[in-house]
Amino acid sequence: MTTPSGDPGTVPVVRRRPDPADSVIWEVSERWVRATKGDVTVVDSRRPLLVWEPGRPVPLYAFPAKDVRTDLLRKTERRAGRRHAGATVFYDLEAGDETIPAAAWTYPGEELAGHICFEWFGRDVLDHWYEEDEEIFVHPRDPYKRVDALPSTRHVQVEIEGTVVADTHAPVLLFETHLPVRYYIPRKDVRLDLFTPTDARTRCPYKGVATDYWSWAGGGDVRPDIAWSYPDPLPAASVIKDRVAFYNESVDIIVDGERQKRPVTFFSKPTR
């Protein structure tokens, strides 16, 4: 065997490693991105940057200052509720009669100089975001992320506090990069009588809007909104329609007789 250079030797085999835990990573995006507040277009950029902060599972956009309505920004001493790696300068956004505190910020150093980021995930700073002419929400779609929903005949059981709440041989396994496999189970195979419907609602840029949520009614230290369903998912994930999934982080899942280890992820703690 020879190396790519033609010299004798062996090709090293290494496992792909995660990105450095202490680095802000960025790259150029070719998507046209716009964002509005009310009837005002606050961002209109054909040269945004995608930015990944350490410890944050999803990217953000950073925009050249000339593509931002900087006349609506006011430097502030306030900081965003969510910490942003290295960010020291924050801006309030003044749009009409509304002031959104610490809505935007800049990163120090030369790499991202002259670019402005806006808070997005977890805060409704701007009303609508668009990539090209399609509205998106929650966060930018990550070009290095896939979501594959695959029908299966695996035997999947879900337990909460020792009680089997779901048992199926017809799950859909949803594989989403950097997240544990989610098992979407036909409603007829779920003991929904053991749960209480809630008014929770979440959005995903890859799957759509989950408007059906349930909390465990059996007591114990179980996070709220433990199960959810997408009644009208995006076309790419249509196979999960009306199926029920659970947070692997907070329930016990047995697949083909093998009890799965509970993963530790961004979703390990209750959201409310």
Q: What is the pLDDT of residue 5?
A: 55
Q: Side by side, which strands form the sheet with 258-259?
A: 163-168, 156-160, 252-255, 258-259
Q: What is the pLDDT of residue 252?
A: 98
Distance CA 30, CA 137 (A): 18
Q: Which structural domains are found in the chain, ordered by start?
A: 25-136 (2.170.150.40), 147-259 (2.170.150.40)
Q: What is the pLDDT of residue 1?
A: 45
Containing H/E element for 26? Answer: strand 25-28
Q: What is the pLDDT of residue 113?
A: 92
With beta carbons less than 8 A apart as the criterion, state whether 34 and 48 touch. no
pTM: 0.78
Q: What is the pLDDT of residue 8?
A: 57
Handedness of CA 73, 76, 82, 87 (dihedral sign): positive
Distance of CA 144 to the CA centre of its chain: 13
Extract the residue ranges of the chain whose pLDDT is less than 50: 1-2, 271-272
